[in-house]
Structure 1
Amino acid sequence: MTTTIWSLLLVGALVALTYKRSSLKVAAGVMAAFTVAALLFGAATAVTVISLIFAIGLGVLSLDGFRTNTVTKPIFNFYKKILPQMSETERTALEAGTVWWDGELFSGKPNWQMLLNHPNPTIPQREQDFLDNQVKTLCSMVDEWEISQNGDLAKEIWEYIKKERFFSMIIPESYGGLGFSAQTQSAVLQALTVSGATFSTVGVPNSLGPGELLLKYGTKEQKDHYLPRLADGREIPCFGLTGPRAGSDATSLPDVGVVCKGTWEGKEVLGLKLNFEKRYITLAPVATVVGLAFRMFDPEGLLGDKKDVGITVALLPRHLEGMDIGNRHKPIGSPFMNGPIFGKDVFIPLDFIIGGAEMAGQGWRMLVECLSVGRCITLPSSGAGGGKYSIAATGAYARIRRQFNVPIAKLEGVQERIARIAGNTYTAGAAARVTAIAIDEGHKPSVPSAILKYNLTEIARQVAVDTMDVHGGKAIIRGPKNYVESGYSSVPVAITVEGANILTRSMITFGQGAIRCHPFVLPEMETAKADDLKGFDKALFGHFGFIFSNMSRAMVLNLTNAAFTGVPVSGPTKQYYKQLNKYAASFAICVDIAMSTLGGELKFRELISARLADMVSKMYLASMVLKHWADQGSNKEDLPLVQYSIEKLFYEFEEAHDGFLKNLPARPAAWLLRALTMPFGRRAEAPSDKLTAKVVDLVSYHTDTRERLIQGIYREETYGTSYDNGMRNPLAVYDSLLDRAEKAEGIYKKIGEALKAGKYDEATLSIEGRITDGIEMGVLTADEGEFMLAYEKDVLEMVHVDHFPLEHFGKVAENHDKGKKASKKKSDEATA
């Protein structure tokens, strides 16, 4: 054999060993065997020597005791010196929640069988009955236009929400609540996106708030008193966290509670004097009980030696002296109840602390643990439900709205927007459903909660913009007929709350994931802190092997475009699993190189962190799409939608990947990474025009794919009271129109051919006139004419926009009335 061949064999053996993540002992044995073979078959001396060095080196390193004392110990001592101190708040945030599929993506070698084996339960019958009855009834009662004009839900809606216990989806039945699964909670909230105000009113008490905090941390007395009252609506909760100087940085709370003695119900008790200012608090204007987060101090040592006790959470009844509550903010979009809360020298007993005095100072842990679950359900449901509503309306509108003698769904510029709405909706629905099931299975996925919060609310923003673009003028005129405006104007609310999206993307998603999900970083930190040399040695050399493995995997998978990687599926989606293997390996080595070259500075390089967050987010969402498609029965009809969603996510992954490599400060490391992970540049392509057209056809006709995509939204015939007999639900009208659209298109074609043949009077321009004349001329049958007149009546109803008397606008009308009178006077004078 030539030197070149032996050199290639040696490199191949090393790559294979690292690719397969072989142990040190196995690697040493393979290298020893290679050395013997090289000697027997006359390999070049250099190759033999190099293989011998590897064999000896790996063999020595496989001796645990020797390795620990000679190699690891100096590194261990140095590491302890440079290890940055982790604050208690940072540690609490890292320890909140559990690692789930996000950990597999950080591993660089995802276990697809684990995801495919993840349960796919149906919604329990009791919960499905609630969706089919109470949820539909509530949707039928809301009228977003009426709510916007009145500034509140109607009284009967409030009463129905309380009566049917919508506030208690997370409260167990034993306390009088509904005790729903996370999957059902998400389904309820998705249906309620028909009204932003109703969604917020129901969603917030079932997310981060007094109910969840009481369930997890409350004393028995607190649970027994409050939970039944919260369940049946006797108490309306709100939660005060955000203030003027503590928004996304919740740990910087300036609100203070000082331990002191005071009078409560005629007795002197030990308690807290509170001073606080909160804002943006949903349900605050009507709340009867306030969950309050504040910083607790004990300057006189009445509870112990600790002066700064820490962030604490307490429950405050509305009637407390010194608490000012009841004013409202006026959010953009749907006017849900939201307002400020002020407190001046408000005294409460210590047993108002959730969990009692022993939970004083534990508020930050309580908040982040609850938030990791709540963020996976409420806000993602708004993105998924809003997308379903939008594509149901927009796809149908584009089919029945004609311009240039064709449905606008046939115009490629319009198709681009519709397909994007459909793909984003499919992605959002998949991620919301599969992650909710993970919560039902006992996971508390903190990193996926950040992924979903950011990505699904951003999806909602893009969906709203695209929906507005397709509807054009119809979407910008306010009134009962405008079913687009409320969702469009409300989108920034979801993007802002529970941590602004800028923060979530640039600091939280990867900031938590890099340590929490990495298989070795946290063990290294914990063993160093515990002065555990053996534990550190195991983590350190595991980390070294992990790095070399991901380097090999990234190189091989990218050079071969993942052609030979194994995945446990076959069929049309197999290629996507393979590509995700490639992306996961590339992401994992990018993470380690970024952390090793930037160190603690990475925390402050927010755009680097944001791009890494984008990379893991796109992989997570693509995984959810694949799992969702499999869960729904792997319907071949849906494949264009799956393909569009995946190709869009892959394109966005590579965009973030390329941006990361271009901006990594350590340029030699960036060049190495590009050679390993993007040797041929960006390979993913955005969805093609042909695929875009296929997706549009699937969602703008009455297809099974459309039905699966929009499942769960409210589509009954009427709702609200904007018109004398209730307003027709636009989605119900669109369903009816789509049922007739194919027949109508055949008749449009007949009329068009007659026009080309010159059979029509040139003055007959309206479609109604052409239908009537067409019957007389024999172009259409009487049945076809009757069908088309009814069809066009419904089309016109959906195309029309609202208009109001000038007096509707109050003082504006008065001003113009004065102008009319002045103009008339001048006209009369001129005539005289």
Structure 2
Amino acid sequence: MIRSTEAHATRLKAARTLVEDILIPAEAQMDAEDRMPDAARAALRAHGLFGISIPEAFGGLGLTMEEEAGLMLVLGRAAPAYRAVYALNSGGAAQILLRAGSEAQKAQWLPGLASGARIACFCLSEPEAGSDAAALQTTARREGDGWRLDGRKRWVTNAPEAGMLMVMARTGGEGARGISAFAIDPATPGIHIQPAQSKMGMRGALTADIVFDDARIPADALVGAEGDGLKLALAGLDKVRLHLAALSAGLMERLIDEGRAHALRRRQFGKPLADQPAIGALLADSAAEALAARCMALELARARDDGTLRPADAAAAKLFATEALGRVADRVLQVHGGEGYMTGSAAERLYRDVRLLRILDGTSEIQRLVVARGLFSA
């Protein structure tokens, strides 16, 4: 649902300027230093992107799903490490607070998340609990008027600069119903953020483990009812899957433009690569998949807004778009040839970055299970 065509167009125009004038030019520096440049971070904050789907009452943009998808088609043209920093503030942590948080919890956390003054971390994965989230072992046990938290969370995006942790911990027995959600200040004694981990791609979006060593947290850190944590976390998956589908479509369009520009510039056998049918075929296949992903993201975003979205369809969009993105990145690197394989080229850098999108927020294998379940339960 687009609430105001004029406001939406203005927002997209501003996003295009941000991407082309600030974000893309800073990509190489961010990748080399494994740190988002200050000017890029400030620009993201100035555009309100840390609060994409946080309601305006808390300082966010309060976008509908269709508006968010349209915006991500534009912002997706920039390196996805940017998105890993700003969009997570509107992601799992904020959505759980909006869905089940008390008014006091919303007032405490959401304004800082919306402005980017606080950086949110979603703490779910563990050494022995990735796709099988219900197997997590981090525990929260009652003690007096609070809780004691023990365990280790793995691959926590933004952990080294965390301003708020949304932690899934076991408060009851085995399985999903024994897991609860907690909104926690990372400065709490007993919380130890480990050194940032080196990654294949997504450099600039820092990732680290977090250790909870008998950390005492207050009773009011519990978000929602005890035992509802995993249910709350999973309830937001449709939204993030469509968000990532739109992001992937935008990245495909960027990669195709990189391939097209190289094919027009580079000459072999006395003519531009663009005149070689094999090169045109690589980019034509890529353009078809990018268009399909764009259409899926926008159509299903409208379905989510009007309440008709099926979970299997959101999973299918994430599956198709992220898998297609991997194919497009591979084709575009092939178009670039040896130049694309060299460190420093956009084709090489984005090839490394996009690989993660088939893993995070539900692997492709998990998406296939969700799609198949939808087929057989229809």
- TM-score normalised over the length of structure 1: 0.43
Q: Which has the higher contact order (CA 8 A, sep 6+)?
A: 2
Distance 2:177 2:273 in 1: 63
Partner in structure 2 of residue 554 of structure 1: none
Q: Whole-Å Cα distance in 1 between the matches of residues 159 and 53 of structure 2? A: 20
> Alignment partner of 2:346: what SS?
coil
Counterparts in 2 of 1:125-524, with a 5 A limit?
A: 125-133=6-14, 136-137=17-18, 139-142=20-23, 143-193=26-76, 194-207=78-91, 209-261=92-144, 269=145, 271-297=146-172, 310-325=178-193, 327-335=195-203, 336-355=205-224, 359-377=225-243, 379-479=244-344, 482-505=345-368, 507-515=369-377, 518=378
Over 3 Å counting, the alpha-carbon distance change for 1:129 and 1:486 in structure 2 is same
Q: Return the alpha-carbon distance in structure 2 between the equivalents of residues 414 and 203 of structure 1.
A: 35
- Confirm or deny: 8 A CA contact 2:48 2:114 kept in the other structure: yes
Q: Distance in 2 between matches of 1:235 and 1:513?
A: 41
CA distance in 1, matches of 2:319, 2:51: 26
Secondary structure of 1:376 counterpart: helix
Rate the CA distance shift 1:370–1:185 in 2: closer, same or farther, 3 A.
Answer: same
1:135–1:320 distance in 2 versus 1, CA, 3 Å: farther
Deviation at 1:337, TM superposition (A): 1.8
Structure with the higher strand share, 1 or 2:
2
Higher fraction of helix: 1
Q: Distance in 1 between matches of 2:355 and 2:349?
A: 11
Structure 1 residues 399 and 309, CA gap change in structure 2 (3 angstroms): closer
2:178 is aligned with what amino acid? Answer: G
Segments of 4+ in structure 1 off by > 4 A? none
* CA shift for structure 1 position 134: 5.1
Q: Name which one, 1 or 2, has greater alpha-carbon Rg.
A: 1
Amino acid at match of 1:511: R
| Kept after mapping to 1: 8 A contact 2:312/2:373 | no
CA drift of 1:326 comes to 5.1
**Matched-pair contact (CA < 8 Å) for 1:189–1:203:** no
Show CA shifts across 1:263-298 (max 9, x none): xxxxxx2x2211121111111111111000111139
**Structure 1 segments unaligned to the other structure (5+ residues):** 1-118, 262-268, 299-305, 519-832
C-alpha distance in 1 between matches for 2:356 and 2:53: 23
What secondary structure sits across from 1:416 in the alignment?
A: helix
User: 1:153 Cα deviation (Å)?
Assistant: 0.7
Amino acid of the residue matched to residue 337 of structure 1?
A: L
Q: What are the ranges of 5 or more consecutive residues in structure 2 without an aligned counterpart?
A: none
Query: CA 1:416–1:164 in 2, change beyond 3 Å: closer, same or farther?
Result: closer
**Residue equivalent to 1:694:** none
| C-alpha RMSD of the superposition | 2.1
CA deviation vs aligned residue, 1:166-212 (integer Å, no higher than 9, x gap): 110111111111111222222332323322221222232233x2111
Q: How does 1:566-605 map to 2 (within 5 A)?
A: none
Cα deviation digits, residues 212-270 of structure 1 (max 9, x gap): 11111111111122111211222211100111100011111111111221xxxxxxx2x
- Indicate conservation of the 8 Å contact 1:170/1:206, yes or no: yes
Q: In 2, are the aligned partners of 1:127 and 1:180 still within 8 Å (CA)?
A: no
Deviation at 1:161, TM superposition (A): 2.3
Q: Could you tell me how far apart the structure 2 residues matched to 1:426 and 1:163 are?
A: 30
Give me the TM-score of the superposition, normalised by structure 2.
0.92
Secondary structure (helix, strand or coil) at the match of 2:127 reads coil
CA distance in 1, matches of 2:19, 2:134: 38
Q: Tell me which amino acid in the other structure corresponds to 2:184.
A: L
Indicate if the aligned counterparts of 1:139 and 1:192 stay in contact, CA closer than 8 A. no
User: How far apart, CA to CA, are the structure 1 residues paired with 2:196 and 2:20?
Assistant: 25
| Kept after mapping to 2: 8 A contact 1:161/1:167 | yes
Q: Which amino acid aligns with 2:318?
A: K
SS of equivalent residue, structure 1 residue 341: strand
- Give 1:409 shift: 2.4
Following TM superposition, by how much is the alpha carbon of 1:138 offset from its aligned partner in structure 2, in angstroms? 5.3
Q: Which amino acid aligns with 2:359?
A: T
Deviation at 1:419, TM superposition (A): 1.3
Contact 2:264 2:274 (C-alpha < 8 Å) held by counterparts: yes
Distance 1:156 1:495 in 2: 29
Distance 1:405 1:175 in 2: 60
SS at 1:458's partner residue? helix
Query: 1:680-829 maps to which residues of 2 (within 5 A)?
Result: none
C-alpha separation in 2, matches of 1:171 and 1:326: 29
2:179 touches 2:228 (CA, 8 Å); kept in 1?
Answer: yes
Distance 1:347 1:453, change over 3 A: same
- Contact kept, 8 Å, 2:178 with 2:227, in 1: the verdict is yes
Give, in whole Å, the separation in 1 of the partners of 2:87 and 2:10: 19
Q: Contact 1:376/1:448 (CA < 8 Å) preserved in 2?
A: no
Q: 1:259 to 1:310 in 2, by over 3 A?
A: same
Secondary structure, in 3 states, of the residue corresponding to 1:393?
A: helix
- 8 Å contact 1:400–1:407 — kept in the other structure? yes
- Deviation of residue 368 (structure 1)? 1.5
Q: Which residue in the other structure is 1:614 paired with?
A: none
Deviation of 1:162 (Å): 2.7
1:138–1:160 Cα contact (<8 Å) kept:
no
The residue identity in structure 1 corresponding to 2:109 is Y
How far apart are residue 512 of structure 1 and its match? 4.0
